[in-house]
Amino acid sequence: MNHFNYTDGVLCAEDVPLPDIAAAVGTPFYCYSTATLKRHYEAFAEAMDGLETLICFSAKANGNLAVLRTLGNMGAGCDVVSGGELGRALAAGIPASKIVFSGVGKKADELRLAVESGIGQINIESEPELERLNEIALSLGKTAPVAFRVNPDVHAKTHDKITTGRKEDKFGVAWNDAPRLYATADRLDGIDVRGAAVHIGSQITDLDPFEAAFTKVASLVEDLRASGIEIQTIDLGGGLGVPYRRDNDPPPSPAAYGEVVKRTVGGLGCTIMFEPGRVIAANAGVLVSEVVYVKRGETKTFVIIDAAMNDLLRPSMYDAYHHIRPVMEPRPETDLQTYDLVGPICETGDRFAQETLLPPATEGDLVAIMSAGAYGAVMSSNYNARPLIPEVLVDGGEYAIVRKRPPVEELWALESMPEWLESSTDN
Protein backbone atom coordinates (compact mmCIF):
# COMPACT_ATOMS: atom_id res chain seq x y z
CA MET A 1 0.00 0.00 0.00
CA ASN A 2 1.18 3.53 -0.74
CA HIS A 3 -0.23 7.03 -0.90
CA PHE A 4 0.79 7.97 -4.46
CA ASN A 5 -2.38 8.21 -6.52
CA TYR A 6 -3.87 10.17 -9.39
CA THR A 7 -6.16 13.05 -8.42
CA ASP A 8 -7.83 14.97 -11.26
CA GLY A 9 -5.37 13.42 -13.68
CA VAL A 10 -2.22 14.30 -11.71
CA LEU A 11 -0.06 11.94 -9.66
CA CYS A 12 -0.01 13.16 -6.06
CA ALA A 13 1.96 12.31 -2.96
CA GLU A 14 -0.88 12.17 -0.45
CA ASP A 15 -2.58 15.52 -1.14
CA VAL A 16 0.33 17.26 -2.87
CA PRO A 17 0.59 17.19 -6.70
CA LEU A 18 4.07 16.09 -7.73
CA PRO A 19 4.33 18.84 -10.40
CA ASP A 20 4.01 21.42 -7.63
CA ILE A 21 7.06 19.97 -5.89
CA ALA A 22 8.95 19.74 -9.18
CA ALA A 23 8.28 23.43 -9.86
CA ALA A 24 9.62 24.33 -6.41
CA VAL A 25 12.74 22.13 -6.16
CA GLY A 26 13.53 21.12 -9.74
CA THR A 27 14.11 17.61 -10.99
CA PRO A 28 15.15 14.98 -10.22
CA PHE A 29 14.06 14.62 -6.60
CA TYR A 30 12.99 11.99 -4.09
CA CYS A 31 9.60 12.29 -2.46
CA TYR A 32 8.52 10.38 0.65
CA SER A 33 5.02 9.89 2.04
CA THR A 34 4.60 10.19 5.81
CA ALA A 35 1.28 8.33 5.69
CA THR A 36 2.88 5.37 3.93
CA LEU A 37 5.82 5.23 6.34
CA LYS A 38 3.44 5.24 9.29
CA ARG A 39 1.08 2.67 7.78
CA HIS A 40 3.88 0.24 7.01
CA TYR A 41 5.39 0.62 10.47
CA GLU A 42 1.98 0.05 12.05
CA ALA A 43 1.37 -3.04 9.91
CA PHE A 44 4.69 -4.52 10.99
CA ALA A 45 4.09 -3.69 14.66
CA GLU A 46 0.57 -5.11 14.59
CA ALA A 47 1.91 -8.36 13.16
CA MET A 48 3.95 -8.84 16.36
CA ASP A 49 1.05 -8.28 18.73
CA GLY A 50 1.46 -10.34 21.88
CA LEU A 51 5.27 -10.32 21.79
CA GLU A 52 7.65 -8.04 23.65
CA THR A 53 9.38 -6.36 20.72
CA LEU A 54 11.72 -3.60 19.66
CA ILE A 55 11.48 -2.59 16.00
CA CYS A 56 14.72 -0.96 14.90
CA PHE A 57 14.31 0.63 11.48
CA SER A 58 17.32 -0.03 9.27
CA ALA A 59 19.10 3.27 8.58
CA LYS A 60 20.93 1.75 5.61
CA ALA A 61 17.58 1.58 3.78
CA ASN A 62 16.81 5.28 4.24
CA GLY A 63 18.90 7.44 6.55
CA ASN A 64 17.19 10.80 6.07
CA LEU A 65 16.86 12.50 9.47
CA ALA A 66 13.20 13.39 8.88
CA VAL A 67 12.36 9.78 7.99
CA LEU A 68 14.18 8.52 11.09
CA ARG A 69 12.43 11.10 13.27
CA THR A 70 9.03 10.19 11.81
CA LEU A 71 9.50 6.54 12.71
CA GLY A 72 11.20 7.33 16.01
CA ASN A 73 8.15 9.33 17.06
CA MET A 74 6.13 6.15 16.54
CA GLY A 75 8.39 4.21 18.89
CA ALA A 76 10.92 2.79 16.47
CA GLY A 77 14.54 2.28 17.31
CA CYS A 78 17.31 2.15 14.73
CA ASP A 79 19.63 -0.47 13.25
CA VAL A 80 22.95 1.07 12.20
CA VAL A 81 26.02 -0.34 10.46
CA SER A 82 28.54 2.50 10.80
CA GLY A 83 29.57 5.27 13.14
CA GLY A 84 28.02 7.73 10.70
CA GLU A 85 24.65 5.99 10.83
CA LEU A 86 24.90 5.89 14.63
CA GLY A 87 25.46 9.64 14.62
CA ARG A 88 22.49 10.07 12.27
CA ALA A 89 20.20 8.04 14.51
CA LEU A 90 21.18 10.07 17.57
CA ALA A 91 20.80 13.35 15.64
CA ALA A 92 17.30 12.25 14.63
CA GLY A 93 16.37 11.82 18.28
CA ILE A 94 16.39 8.02 18.47
CA PRO A 95 17.14 7.03 22.09
CA ALA A 96 20.53 5.36 22.40
CA SER A 97 18.91 2.46 24.25
CA LYS A 98 16.90 1.68 21.10
CA ILE A 99 19.90 1.51 18.76
CA VAL A 100 21.54 -1.75 17.65
CA PHE A 101 24.91 -1.67 15.87
CA SER A 102 25.53 -4.39 13.26
CA GLY A 103 28.24 -4.83 10.60
CA VAL A 104 31.34 -6.93 10.04
CA GLY A 105 34.00 -4.20 10.09
CA LYS A 106 33.35 -1.87 13.01
CA LYS A 107 36.48 0.18 13.65
CA ALA A 108 37.80 1.01 17.10
CA ASP A 109 36.52 4.59 17.02
CA GLU A 110 33.06 3.36 16.00
CA LEU A 111 32.95 0.83 18.82
CA ARG A 112 34.12 3.49 21.26
CA LEU A 113 31.34 5.82 20.10
CA ALA A 114 28.80 3.03 20.56
CA VAL A 115 29.93 2.27 24.11
CA GLU A 116 30.19 5.95 25.09
CA SER A 117 26.71 6.62 23.67
CA GLY A 118 25.20 3.79 25.70
CA ILE A 119 23.45 2.08 22.81
CA GLY A 120 21.21 -0.89 23.48
CA GLN A 121 23.10 -3.65 21.71
CA ILE A 122 26.23 -4.30 19.64
CA ASN A 123 25.98 -7.33 17.35
CA ILE A 124 29.38 -9.03 17.33
CA GLU A 125 30.42 -10.66 14.04
CA SER A 126 33.89 -12.05 14.77
CA GLU A 127 36.18 -13.08 17.62
CA PRO A 128 38.67 -10.23 16.95
CA GLU A 129 35.81 -7.76 17.19
CA LEU A 130 34.79 -9.24 20.54
CA GLU A 131 38.35 -8.84 21.86
CA ARG A 132 38.63 -5.27 20.63
CA LEU A 133 35.27 -4.30 22.09
CA ASN A 134 36.20 -5.78 25.46
CA GLU A 135 39.40 -3.71 25.55
CA ILE A 136 37.54 -0.54 24.64
CA ALA A 137 34.81 -1.09 27.22
CA LEU A 138 37.35 -1.76 29.96
CA SER A 139 39.30 1.39 29.05
CA LEU A 140 36.08 3.38 29.48
CA GLY A 141 35.11 1.66 32.72
CA LYS A 142 31.94 0.29 31.13
CA THR A 143 30.43 -2.98 29.99
CA ALA A 144 29.20 -3.35 26.41
CA PRO A 145 25.85 -5.08 25.81
CA VAL A 146 26.29 -7.62 23.02
CA ALA A 147 24.68 -10.32 20.96
CA PHE A 148 26.50 -12.56 18.53
CA ARG A 149 25.25 -12.49 14.98
CA VAL A 150 25.28 -16.16 14.12
CA ASN A 151 25.43 -17.46 10.56
CA PRO A 152 22.82 -20.22 10.27
CA ASP A 153 23.90 -21.37 6.77
CA VAL A 154 20.44 -20.73 5.35
CA HIS A 155 19.99 -19.60 1.75
CA ALA A 156 17.48 -16.76 1.61
CA LYS A 157 16.50 -17.51 -2.02
CA THR A 158 17.03 -13.90 -3.01
CA HIS A 159 19.56 -12.03 -5.17
CA ASP A 160 23.09 -13.32 -4.61
CA LYS A 161 24.40 -9.87 -3.66
CA ILE A 162 21.90 -9.49 -0.81
CA THR A 163 21.99 -13.03 0.59
CA THR A 164 23.84 -12.90 3.92
CA GLY A 165 23.15 -16.09 5.88
CA ARG A 166 25.13 -18.78 4.00
CA LYS A 167 28.31 -20.18 5.53
CA GLU A 168 30.36 -18.76 2.64
CA ASP A 169 29.03 -15.23 3.24
CA LYS A 170 31.10 -12.71 5.20
CA PHE A 171 28.48 -12.04 7.85
CA GLY A 172 28.20 -13.41 11.36
CA VAL A 173 30.12 -16.01 13.33
CA ALA A 174 30.18 -19.60 12.16
CA TRP A 175 27.36 -21.66 13.59
CA ASN A 176 29.65 -24.30 15.09
CA ASP A 177 31.82 -21.63 16.74
CA ALA A 178 28.93 -19.90 18.50
CA PRO A 179 28.87 -21.93 21.77
CA ARG A 180 32.61 -21.40 22.31
CA LEU A 181 32.40 -17.68 21.56
CA TYR A 182 29.47 -17.20 23.92
CA ALA A 183 31.42 -18.98 26.68
CA THR A 184 34.44 -16.76 26.01
CA ALA A 185 32.35 -13.59 26.03
CA ASP A 186 30.63 -14.58 29.25
CA ARG A 187 34.03 -14.55 30.99
CA LEU A 188 35.07 -11.09 29.77
CA ASP A 189 34.69 -8.24 32.28
CA GLY A 190 33.93 -5.64 29.61
CA ILE A 191 31.18 -7.65 27.94
CA ASP A 192 27.54 -8.10 28.93
CA VAL A 193 26.11 -10.98 26.90
CA ARG A 194 22.49 -10.12 26.15
CA GLY A 195 21.28 -11.93 23.08
CA ALA A 196 21.51 -13.82 19.82
CA ALA A 197 21.14 -12.24 16.39
CA VAL A 198 20.58 -13.46 12.85
CA HIS A 199 20.02 -11.77 9.49
CA ILE A 200 19.87 -13.89 6.34
CA GLY A 201 19.34 -11.35 3.56
CA SER A 202 17.09 -8.79 1.90
CA GLN A 203 14.06 -8.77 -0.40
CA ILE A 204 13.07 -12.27 0.75
CA THR A 205 9.76 -13.44 -0.73
CA ASP A 206 9.58 -16.95 0.74
CA LEU A 207 8.92 -17.56 4.43
CA ASP A 208 10.68 -20.94 4.53
CA PRO A 209 14.22 -19.50 4.93
CA PHE A 210 13.01 -17.34 7.81
CA GLU A 211 11.47 -20.37 9.52
CA ALA A 212 14.64 -22.43 9.07
CA ALA A 213 16.90 -19.68 10.44
CA PHE A 214 14.63 -18.74 13.36
CA THR A 215 14.22 -22.40 14.35
CA LYS A 216 18.00 -22.82 14.52
CA VAL A 217 18.33 -19.65 16.62
CA ALA A 218 15.66 -20.88 19.03
CA SER A 219 17.62 -24.10 19.48
CA LEU A 220 20.82 -22.13 20.10
CA VAL A 221 19.12 -20.00 22.76
CA GLU A 222 17.90 -23.10 24.58
CA ASP A 223 21.37 -24.65 24.48
CA LEU A 224 22.99 -21.46 25.77
CA ARG A 225 20.53 -21.22 28.62
CA ALA A 226 21.21 -24.83 29.51
CA SER A 227 24.92 -23.95 29.74
CA GLY A 228 24.18 -21.10 32.15
CA ILE A 229 24.22 -18.16 29.72
CA GLU A 230 20.99 -16.22 30.06
CA ILE A 231 19.79 -14.86 26.72
CA GLN A 232 17.39 -11.93 27.02
CA THR A 233 17.06 -10.71 23.43
CA ILE A 234 16.74 -12.30 20.00
CA ASP A 235 17.46 -10.07 17.03
CA LEU A 236 15.86 -11.53 13.89
CA GLY A 237 17.15 -8.87 11.50
CA GLY A 238 15.05 -7.77 8.55
CA GLY A 239 14.69 -8.90 4.97
CA LEU A 240 10.97 -9.19 4.27
CA GLY A 241 10.39 -8.44 0.59
CA VAL A 242 8.13 -5.84 -1.02
CA PRO A 243 6.10 -5.91 -4.27
CA TYR A 244 8.21 -4.05 -6.82
CA ARG A 245 6.34 -5.70 -9.70
CA ARG A 246 2.61 -5.21 -9.91
CA ASP A 247 2.15 -8.28 -12.13
CA ASN A 248 3.76 -10.81 -9.76
CA ASP A 249 2.35 -12.64 -6.79
CA PRO A 250 2.74 -10.40 -3.73
CA PRO A 251 5.41 -11.32 -1.18
CA PRO A 252 4.34 -12.59 2.25
CA SER A 253 2.59 -10.05 4.44
CA PRO A 254 3.98 -8.82 7.75
CA ALA A 255 1.14 -10.77 9.42
CA ALA A 256 2.29 -14.04 7.82
CA TYR A 257 5.88 -13.25 8.78
CA GLY A 258 4.70 -12.56 12.33
CA GLU A 259 3.15 -16.01 12.54
CA VAL A 260 6.52 -17.56 11.71
CA VAL A 261 8.16 -15.45 14.41
CA LYS A 262 5.60 -16.47 17.02
CA ARG A 263 5.80 -20.13 16.05
CA THR A 264 9.60 -20.35 16.24
CA VAL A 265 10.83 -17.97 18.95
CA GLY A 266 7.68 -16.55 20.50
CA GLY A 267 7.72 -18.91 23.47
CA LEU A 268 11.25 -18.19 24.67
CA GLY A 269 10.36 -15.19 26.83
CA CYS A 270 12.86 -12.92 25.08
CA THR A 271 12.53 -9.40 23.76
CA ILE A 272 12.32 -9.92 20.01
CA MET A 273 14.18 -7.32 17.98
CA PHE A 274 13.69 -6.61 14.29
CA GLU A 275 15.60 -4.56 11.71
CA PRO A 276 13.08 -3.87 8.93
CA GLY A 277 14.03 -1.29 6.31
CA ARG A 278 12.77 -1.99 2.82
CA VAL A 279 9.36 -3.26 3.93
CA ILE A 280 8.68 0.09 5.64
CA ALA A 281 10.38 2.57 3.32
CA ALA A 282 10.47 1.20 -0.24
CA ASN A 283 6.91 1.95 -1.32
CA ALA A 284 6.88 5.15 0.73
CA GLY A 285 9.14 6.89 -1.79
CA VAL A 286 9.31 7.80 -5.47
CA LEU A 287 12.00 9.33 -7.67
CA VAL A 288 10.55 12.06 -9.89
CA SER A 289 12.39 12.94 -13.10
CA GLU A 290 11.86 14.99 -16.24
CA VAL A 291 12.15 13.80 -19.83
CA VAL A 292 15.12 15.55 -21.47
CA TYR A 293 14.97 13.95 -24.92
CA VAL A 294 13.14 11.25 -26.84
CA LYS A 295 15.75 9.56 -29.03
CA ARG A 296 14.74 7.19 -31.80
CA GLY A 297 17.39 4.62 -32.69
CA GLU A 298 17.42 1.89 -35.31
CA THR A 299 15.81 -0.72 -33.09
CA LYS A 300 14.75 1.10 -29.93
CA THR A 301 13.28 4.39 -28.81
CA PHE A 302 14.98 5.86 -25.76
CA VAL A 303 13.36 8.18 -23.25
CA ILE A 304 16.29 10.06 -21.71
CA ILE A 305 15.47 11.50 -18.29
CA ASP A 306 17.45 13.73 -15.95
CA ALA A 307 17.71 11.12 -13.18
CA ALA A 308 20.61 8.68 -13.48
CA MET A 309 22.22 5.63 -11.95
CA ASN A 310 24.08 7.84 -9.49
CA ASP A 311 20.67 8.87 -8.11
CA LEU A 312 19.13 5.37 -8.05
CA LEU A 313 21.70 2.57 -8.31
CA ARG A 314 19.46 -0.47 -7.84
CA PRO A 315 18.57 -1.12 -11.51
CA SER A 316 22.22 -0.96 -12.55
CA MET A 317 23.66 -2.84 -9.59
CA TYR A 318 21.00 -5.52 -9.08
CA ASP A 319 19.11 -5.51 -12.41
CA ALA A 320 16.25 -4.40 -10.18
CA TYR A 321 12.78 -3.63 -11.50
CA HIS A 322 10.97 -0.39 -10.66
CA HIS A 323 7.52 0.39 -12.01
CA ILE A 324 7.43 3.65 -13.99
CA ARG A 325 4.35 5.90 -13.91
CA PRO A 326 3.70 9.08 -15.90
CA VAL A 327 2.95 11.97 -13.56
CA MET A 328 0.12 13.10 -15.83
CA GLU A 329 -2.48 10.32 -15.98
CA PRO A 330 -2.99 9.00 -19.52
CA ARG A 331 -6.48 8.74 -20.93
CA PRO A 332 -7.87 5.18 -21.02
CA GLU A 333 -7.85 5.16 -24.84
CA THR A 334 -4.18 6.21 -25.08
CA ASP A 335 -2.05 3.87 -27.18
CA LEU A 336 1.04 2.93 -25.18
CA GLN A 337 4.45 2.82 -26.78
CA THR A 338 7.55 0.75 -26.01
CA TYR A 339 10.56 2.63 -24.65
CA ASP A 340 13.85 2.12 -22.89
CA LEU A 341 14.00 4.61 -20.02
CA VAL A 342 17.62 5.73 -19.52
CA GLY A 343 19.67 8.39 -17.79
CA PRO A 344 22.40 10.77 -18.99
CA ILE A 345 25.44 9.09 -17.40
CA CYS A 346 28.14 7.73 -19.69
CA GLU A 347 27.46 4.08 -18.84
CA THR A 348 25.36 1.56 -20.75
CA GLY A 349 24.11 0.37 -17.37
CA ASP A 350 22.51 3.77 -16.72
CA ARG A 351 19.09 2.35 -17.48
CA PHE A 352 15.88 2.22 -15.44
CA ALA A 353 13.65 0.12 -17.67
CA GLN A 354 13.85 -1.82 -20.91
CA GLU A 355 10.96 -2.19 -23.34
CA THR A 356 8.52 -0.64 -20.91
CA LEU A 357 5.09 0.56 -22.00
CA LEU A 358 4.37 4.26 -21.50
CA PRO A 359 2.13 6.89 -23.08
CA PRO A 360 3.77 8.82 -25.94
CA ALA A 361 6.61 10.76 -24.32
CA THR A 362 7.67 14.31 -25.03
CA GLU A 363 10.35 16.60 -23.64
CA GLY A 364 9.35 18.13 -20.33
CA ASP A 365 7.10 15.25 -19.24
CA LEU A 366 7.48 14.09 -15.65
CA VAL A 367 7.79 10.42 -14.70
CA ALA A 368 7.77 8.78 -11.28
CA ILE A 369 10.02 5.81 -10.58
CA MET A 370 8.08 3.93 -7.94
CA SER A 371 9.18 1.99 -4.84
CA ALA A 372 12.32 4.13 -4.51
CA GLY A 373 12.12 4.93 -0.81
CA ALA A 374 14.61 2.24 0.23
CA TYR A 375 18.19 1.94 -1.05
CA GLY A 376 17.66 4.98 -3.24
CA ALA A 377 19.01 8.24 -1.86
CA VAL A 378 21.28 6.41 0.60
CA MET A 379 23.19 4.72 -2.23
CA SER A 380 23.46 7.81 -4.43
CA SER A 381 26.79 9.35 -5.40
CA ASN A 382 28.37 12.28 -7.22
CA TYR A 383 29.46 10.19 -10.22
CA ASN A 384 29.92 12.29 -13.37
CA ALA A 385 30.15 15.33 -11.03
CA ARG A 386 26.40 15.29 -10.46
CA PRO A 387 25.24 16.84 -7.16
CA LEU A 388 23.03 14.80 -4.85
CA ILE A 389 19.36 15.47 -5.43
CA PRO A 390 16.74 16.87 -3.03
CA GLU A 391 14.63 14.75 -0.71
CA VAL A 392 11.11 15.94 0.08
CA LEU A 393 8.79 14.68 2.82
CA VAL A 394 5.02 15.04 2.40
CA ASP A 395 2.50 14.96 5.24
CA GLY A 396 -1.08 15.36 4.06
CA GLY A 397 -1.27 18.62 2.16
CA GLU A 398 2.13 19.89 3.32
CA TYR A 399 5.63 19.18 2.12
CA ALA A 400 9.13 20.11 3.24
CA ILE A 401 12.55 19.86 1.63
CA VAL A 402 14.40 17.55 4.02
CA ARG A 403 17.63 17.51 2.01
CA LYS A 404 18.38 20.38 -0.33
CA ARG A 405 20.20 20.18 -3.63
CA PRO A 406 23.78 21.41 -2.99
CA PRO A 407 25.50 23.83 -5.36
CA VAL A 408 27.84 22.07 -7.77
CA GLU A 409 30.82 23.89 -6.25
CA GLU A 410 30.44 21.78 -3.12
CA LEU A 411 31.67 18.80 -5.13
CA TRP A 412 35.22 20.13 -5.00
CA ALA A 413 35.00 22.34 -1.90
CA LEU A 414 36.99 19.86 0.19
CA GLU A 415 39.67 19.35 -2.44
CA SER A 416 42.93 21.28 -2.55
CA MET A 417 45.77 21.83 -4.99
CA PRO A 418 49.29 20.71 -4.00
CA GLU A 419 51.90 23.46 -3.90
CA TRP A 420 53.71 22.23 -7.02
CA LEU A 421 50.54 22.75 -9.08
CA GLU A 422 49.60 26.15 -7.71
CA SER A 423 51.86 27.96 -10.17
CA SER A 424 50.95 25.84 -13.18
CA THR A 425 47.66 27.51 -14.11
CA ASP A 426 49.31 29.68 -16.76
CA ASN A 427 50.48 26.67 -18.81
Q: Catalytic amino acids?
A: 346
For β-strands 4-7 and 10-13, DSSP reports them as antiparallel
Nearest to 202 by CA among 163, 236, 235: 163
Phi then psi for 181, rounded to 5 degrees?
A: -65, -40
Judge contact between 98 and 56, C-beta under 8 A: yes
Q: Are 286 and 36 in contact (CB under 8 A)?
A: no
Nearest residue to 3 via CA among 66, 13, 376, 94: 13
How far is residue 365's CA from residue 11's CA, in Å, rounded to a whole number? 12
DSSP string over 35-94: HHHHHHHHHHHHHTTTS-EEEEEETTT---HHHHHHHHTTT-EEEESSHHHHHHHHHTT-
**Is residue 209 classed as helix, strand or coil in its secondary structure?**
helix
Q: Helices (H) and strands (E) in the chain — how many of each?
A: 12, 21
Cis amide leading into 95 (omega within 30): no
* d(C-alpha 155, C-alpha 376), whole Å: 25
How many residues make up the chain in this entry? Answer: 427
Helix axes 108-117, 127-140, angle to 10 degrees: 50
CA separation (Å) from 61 to 64, 98, 153, 204? 10, 17, 24, 15
The CA distances from residue 7 to 278, 286, 367, 399, in Å, are 27, 17, 16, 17
